[in-house]
Amino acid sequence: MSAATPKVYGWCPGALRPMMSGDGLVVRVRAPLGRLTQDQAREVARLSEAYGNGLLDISARANLQMRGIREEAHEELINALRDLGLIDPDAQAEARRNVLLSPFWAKGDDTHAIASELGAALSAATDLTLPGKFGFAVDCGLAPVLQGISADIRIERSGATLLLRADGADTGKPVTRESAVPEALALARWFLEQGGAPEGRGRMHRLIARRGPPAAHAAPVARTAFTATPSIVHAGALAALEFGQMPAATLAQLAGHGPIRLTPWRMLLVESPENLPPLPGLILDAADPRLQVTACTGAPGCLQALSATRNLARDLAPHVPAGTRLHVSGCAKGCACPDAAPLTLTATGKNEFSLIRNGTAADQPLKTRLSAAVLRAAPELLKEGS
């Protein structure tokens, strides 16, 4: 395998099935309902520093990643997380319980109730063997906020109606609060029966592109656009994380303000009506230029990255044209932003990048062999070809 052909694993790390990276094990915690109590958050922060490198990521599916975990400490860490109620019965149940919900839920509302039931049903569905990246989104507020987030089966509101929708389809099936979960599981089984996961891999949108949704999915879907920004919202205070990462000490300090919800926008929602204090890794200003930049872990933290990414991304952020986005990727996989971005820098060697416009990290570049030093000295290169 060449350096230009990164390895595709086809699954995501969990807590019980961690993934080795350049800085140690990545242990991904799927907190129930995407929420940490104050005590859970404080203890996770302590465990991160005791067994890892003290760095925490928020994934694009609103999971908490503990980085740099020492292999010999993994079992002890899992026992501690289990005591906190953050560990599934086994790795298979953990993989199935891939449920993302809108962080703006209130206890007892449709999103909260359906996501709770769905998580329990998936844990119990031992006959359901879905691909490692297959996921569910529960988005039943007044207007959907997760339509731009990766998921395979969606339960969302369309006007006054709850719809079950296969990702990639423009129509869905009306459901009720009571029928949503059994219908979602039935759709997951339909996906497998239709050959959506040959050799154990596959995504719903690819199947839908080949054969369309089930016949009963005929109700139109209302499309909405949602952009999350650091702000005070009805559920609390939204704070962004620089490149989706924070030191454990920041999580511990935030826990003093209230329980914490994890979001798919690499933000935290702290259940507090007050403004949050400036802390390392937090972005509290909606105009901060770093919000226009996405960057993966990069080298040396990722074994496949060909170059460091985040220092360069931080330096280029003030030069990204207003209203656009820059993706800095350590390799052609583009994990931090799998979809096309207006501007992408893909590492092709140590401190060497290709510039891609309106494409993914693997697409044809506009310019090649741009050194990090040249990009820093001449950030106007980002505007070429626009």
HEC readout, the chain: CCCCCCCCCCCCCCCCCCEEECCEEEEEECCHHHEECHHHHHHHHHHHHHHCCCEEEECCCCCEEEEEECHHHHHHHHHHHHHCCCCCCCHHHHHHCCEEECCCCCCCCHHHHHHHHHHHHHHHCCCCCCCCCCCEEEECCCCCCCCCCCCCEEEEEECCEEEEEECCCCEEEEECCCCHHHHHHHHHHHHHHCCCCHHHCCCHHHHHHHHCCCCCCCEECCCCCCCCCCEEECCEEEEEEHHHEEEHHHHHHHCCCCCEEECCCCEEEECCCCCCCCCCCEECCCCCHHHHEEECCCCCCCCCCCCCCHHHHHHHHHHCCCCCCEEEECCCCCCCCCCCEEEEEEEEECCEEEEEEEECCCCCCCEEEEEHHHHHHCHHHHHCCC
| Fold of the CATH domain 289-383 | Sulfite Reductase Hemoprotein; domain 1 (3.30.413)
pLDDT of residue 259: 98
- Name the residue ranges covered by the structural domains of the chain: 93-220, 289-383
Tens of pLDDT along the chain (386 residues) come to 344 565 555 567 899 999 999 999 999 999 999 999 999 999 999 999 999 999 999 999 999 999 999 999 999 999 999 999 999 999 999 999 999 999 999 999 999 999 999 999 999 999 999 998 999 999 999 999 999 999 999 999 998 999 999 999 999 999 999 999 999 999 999 999 999 999 889 999 999 999 999 999 999 998 999 999 999 999 999 999 999 999 999 999 999 999 999 999 999 999 998 889 999 999 999 999 999 999 999 999 999 999 999 999 999 999 999 889 999 999 999 999 988 999 999 999 999 999 999 999 999 999 999 999 999 999 999 987 65
pLDDT of residue 274: 86
pLDDT of residue 6: 59
pLDDT of residue 2: 41
pLDDT of residue 209: 98
pLDDT of residue 1: 34
pLDDT of residue 40: 98
pLDDT of residue 383: 86
